[in-house]
């Protein structure tokens, strides 16, 4: 009887220990899982912070790019408002009236040079038309090359072309002595056949923009040639040109290719083309 009780007690104790051991076995994996969860949570939070930081940097870059794009669009709008917007035939240039666009293309921007005009057989050259019956400058032609570009110091200009009634306006002088073929291209300076009365606006930036394009191409290689022509456009017997037609064509490619008409105007000034006098608007 005593043995039976002892056996029953021993069995009960074994069950208690077994149950306690099992519970401990269940608790340990749960605690481990909790620790792992916390570890992964911290890692995920750290990764999220990195992503958030990267997104913030990207957003700043986007804002910066948006500002740059907006600025470029504004510049483009300003440029497009005053420059090449239409095409006309060369025969109609003298009859054109300024309508707000400084520069327009002529003959779809194609210069009117023949294959013979583009020949480099006799090397670089330049030719200036005689003054007309009113002493007005006429067309200047050239086959330009790096070899013609000046190296000596430029002398002061003293020629007074027809229509020269210069005066000071806001920002400087109204008129410039405008070279038909820019000084930087041939070194021609006080040449009566290469100078006309032109507004500061005509000379720089409008004509200079195309002259610089030509100069940059010539400087790139001594083997480069450009056929070039600048024609002043007068209306009737007026002494001040209404504008100039500029044509340029590189002989070995279309790297330089333009035919444009630039109005001889100055913002805020009314010009009398008959004699070159003016009044501030």
Q: Which residues pair with 140 in a beta bridge?
A: 128, 230
Does residue 51 form part of some domain? no
Total domains, the chain? 1
Residue 16 included in any domain: no
CB neighbours of residue 176 within 10 Å: 20
The CATH number covering residue 273 comes to 3.40.570.10
User: pLDDT digit string (tens) for 6-62?
Assistant: 555 555 545 544 444 544 544 556 667 666 666 667 777 777 787 777 777 767 776
β-strand pairing of 103-106 with 87-88: parallel
From residue 53, alpha-carbon distances to 41, 46, 57, 63 in Å are 18, 11, 6, 15
pLDDT of residue 50: 79
Could you tell me the two tokens for 94?
A: 């003298």
- Rounded distance between C-alpha atoms, residue 35 and residue 29, angstroms: 10
Q: How far is the C-alpha of 196 from the C-alpha of 179, rounded, in Å?
A: 7
Instruction: Note whether residue 107 is domain-resident.
Output: yes
H/E stretch holding 186 reads: helix 183-186
Q: Do the domain assignments include residue 157?
A: yes
pTM of the model: 0.70
Structural domain harbouring 170: 90-280
* Residue at 37 is within a domain: no
For the CA atoms of 103, 106, 108, 112, the dihedral, rounded to the nearest 10 degrees, stands at -140
The reported pLDDT for the residue numbered 88 is: 81
Q: What is the DSSP letter of 195?
A: E
Question: What is residue 133's predicted lDDT score, i.e. its pLDDT?
Answer: 98
Q: Measured between alpha carbons, how far is residue 70 from residues 13, 60, 74, 76, 193 in Å? A: 84, 15, 6, 10, 45
What residues contact 269, with CB distance under 8 A and at least 6 apart?
A: 169, 174, 199, 278, 279, 280, 281
pLDDT digits (tens, 9 = 90+) for 115-143: 999 999 999 999 999 999 999 999 999 99
pLDDT at 68: 60
Cβ neighbours of 180 (radius 10 Å): 27
Structure tokens at 59: 């957003």
Answer whether residue 112 is part of any domain: yes
Asked, for residue 82, whether it belongs to a domain, the answer is: no
Phi then psi for 218, rounded to 5 degrees?
A: -65, -40
Give me the pLDDT at residue 274, please.
98
- Give the rounded percent of residues in the chain with a pLDDT score beyond 70: 76
Fill in the DSSP letter of residue 172.
E
Identify which has the larger pLDDT, 252 or 58: 252
> Tokens 């009044």 label which residue?
279
Rounded CA gap, 121 and 251, in Å? 11
Q: Alpha-carbon distance 223 to 219, whole Å?
A: 10
pLDDT number for residue 118: 98
**pLDDT range class, residue 100, cuts 50, 70, 90:** very high
Mean pLDDT of the chain, nearest integer: 85
136-184: per-residue pLDDT in tens?
999 999 999 999 999 988 999 999 999 999 999 998 999 999 999 999 9
């Amino acid at each position: 009887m005593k043995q039976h009780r002892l056996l029953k007690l021993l069995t009960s104790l074994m069950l208690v220990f077994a149950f306690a051991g099992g519970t401990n076995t269940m608790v340990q994996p749960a605690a481990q899982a909790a620790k792992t969860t916390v570890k992964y949570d911290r890692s995920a939070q750290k990764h999220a912070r990195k992503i958030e930081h990267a997104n913030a940097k990207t957003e700043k870059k986007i804002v910066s790019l948006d500002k740059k794009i907006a600025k470029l669009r504004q510049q483009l709008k300003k440029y497009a408002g005053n420059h090449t917007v239409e095409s006309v035939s060369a025969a109609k240039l003298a009859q054109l009236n300024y309508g707000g666009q400084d520069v327009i293309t002529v003959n779809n921007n194609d210069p009117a040079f023949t294959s013979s005009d583009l020949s480099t057989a006799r090397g670089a050259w330049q030719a200036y038309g005689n003054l007309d019956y009113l002493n007005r400058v006429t067309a200047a032609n050239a086959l330009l090359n790096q070899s013609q570009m000046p190296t000596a110091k430029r002398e002061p200009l003293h020629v007074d072309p027809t229509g020269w009634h210069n005066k000071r306006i806001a920002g400087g002088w109204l008129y410039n002595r405008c070279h038909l073929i820019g000084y930087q291209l041939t070194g021609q300076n006080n040449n009566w056949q290469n100078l006309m009365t032109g507004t500061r606006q005509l000379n720089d930036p409008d004509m200079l923009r195309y002259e610089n394009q030509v100069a940059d191409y010539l400087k790139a290689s001594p083997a480069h040639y450009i056929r070039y022509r600048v024609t002043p456009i007068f209306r009737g017997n007026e002494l001040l040109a209404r504008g100039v037609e500029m044509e340029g064509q590189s002989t070995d490619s279309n790297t330089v290719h333009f035919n444009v008409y630039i109005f001889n105007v100055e913002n805020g000034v009314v010009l009398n083309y008959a004699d070159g006098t003016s009044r501030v608007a």
